[in-house]
Structure 1
Amino acid sequence: MKITIILFSLFVLLNPYAHADAVSIPMGGSAPDFSLESIEGKTVSIDDFRGKVTVLIYWRPDQKRSVLALKDGMELYRSYREKGVEVVTLVADTEKKEDVLKSVKKAGVEFPVLMDTDRKVYGDYGIRVYPSTVIIDKEGKLSYDIPGHAVTYRSAVEGYVRRLLGEINDEELNGILNPHKEKKDKSALEAERRYNLALKFTESGLNDQAIDALNKSIEAKSDIAKSYILLGFLLLEDKEADAALDAFNKAIKLEPGSHDAKTGIGGALILKGDLDGAIEILNDAAKANPYPQKTYYELGMAYELKGEKDSAIKMYKKALDKIVKKKILPSSMSK
């Protein structure tokens, strides 16, 4: 099976900005026929490419991104011609033949240049933007189109070519077209998997394994606050105040209103001996907190360490009251 890349150069002024589609004709239908003369005087018809995959790229020599598309087409041709790739360009304005020849020479084009003198192809395909790329399958059906020339242009065209060659499947093509999204999704899934594993380790009392899983969760995706929060509480249990405080502060940067992160900071400050600072942030954490039992418990500890027995008892009672009303077992408080 052969792939043919046809680069059309149309020199009529159109809106240069990107459109949702490169052409007005719908994908899935038959590609309009054409038969045109090349600058060498040879007649080339679209029928010459039946049974092959054909890529049509409309471009202008006086537009930088169009010339870049031409160069990308040439690079693709050099990479795939051994697999049956051919390239043809097409020009609409024969009066600018010298400009066309100059652009073709500059791009190192090694394939024919066709002249769309009457702009028949331009009209039949309904070109909307320069450059415009249309990919036709071997049965002559319109398969894909690409408006303009984005930074991902080369990889997108090559991906479509490889898909129609049967070298990759739809999932692999999607990975080529959306590389950042795929990476993001994989990172998020890995981070969530590690976090859930850490929860299971925590429930089994395997804190070291839980901490390791959380560090790997954060390594996979560093902008998830809950991973830092759980890590912080585990570090508190190990009496590592500074490390816990660092984890909670990172969580606060991601979620400034997090009651859990503030409660954790309060707990870390208690371990460090900053009781006034702990009481201040814990009181703030208790405000509008639907589950403040842990916060009240930490406040009770802070007041007790300060020697303020009455305030400590008051906070402990509040914590117990919340536990009874919410039907939360004491063993579940740290969750």
Structure 2
Amino acid sequence: MLSTISGDNIPTCGEPFLFFPLEGRNKVKRNLLKNLATLAIAGVLAAAPAWADSFKRTHEGETYKDFTLSTLEGEAKALSENLGSEGTILAFFATWNSRSEEVLSDIQKLHEKYGAKGLSVIGVNVEHAEWSPEEEPLIRKAISDAGVTFPVLVDKDFTVYNDYGVIAVPSIALIDGSGKILRLTTGYSSTGKYEFKDSVESVMGVEKKPVVAETKGYHPDTMALRNGKMAERFFDKRMYARAEKYALKAIEIDENYVDPYRLLAKIYKEAGMNDDAMAASKAADDIERALKANEQGIEKQPAEKPDDKNDGGGTSTKPEKIEKPHA
């Protein structure tokens, strides 16, 4: 059974875009996007905070830097004594930053899901460079609001903050079971948060199961699926330029993957570009039709019939000739 479709395996019914090769699709995409070099729709697009690969004084691949800080109750905890057997999340946050609440909530969910499986989660509050007793109730409220049950330490004089070279809050470090830093995320943007979660799941040995396409016999490329999911997430957040970027990336990886085409149709419809939306939708319909036709051709083999030229009474199973598609 074929996993991808190309060339002579594709049926045609004479329509110009029944199933077009990659170069043809690129031409269609260029036509669709000729007025969308930058999809800037006033009042709709939202810019996400910057995402960075590293802190100022800490880099991925390095061994973690040990430290000892205390909780609000005064209990001292060393990082080295609280590492998880599979991985450790080290999250720097401050109550005055709105995204810190989201970080605490998200990593609490990871703590609940993987804490018993070897993942350690540690929060480090970096409220201000000079500690004030008035900050304690604010920190306690943030911990309570997020339902935090993992240890939260307080870096009262920014010693650890400066040692790690944290450049903004919230910032998160993911440490693997051997003590090496796998990922550093600064700002916790929409892209960064999902990539960080994927990294955590990878450390915990979670295997991503590819989504099986509706059409039997065809499975979208795993990376195409990932980009497609990112596109959907950005679309849900009304971040259409980013959604378009990831949808096109998914198509570039796997041109037979229908969902990104349908998402592009939605994006262009939201932008008021009805002709482009219709073109993207038609491309999706045509590709899906060809995939289904190909699958039916695979499952339903031509019936054997006597071969008049075979004196021995044998049979011929040669299928009828399939025309090539129109580019």
Highest Rg: 1 or 2?
A: 1
Q: TM-score, normalised by structure 2?
A: 0.49
Q: Which has the higher helix share?
A: 1
Higher-RCO chain (CA-CA 8 Å, sequence separation at least 6): 2
What is the TM-score when the length of structure 1 is the normalising length? Answer: 0.48
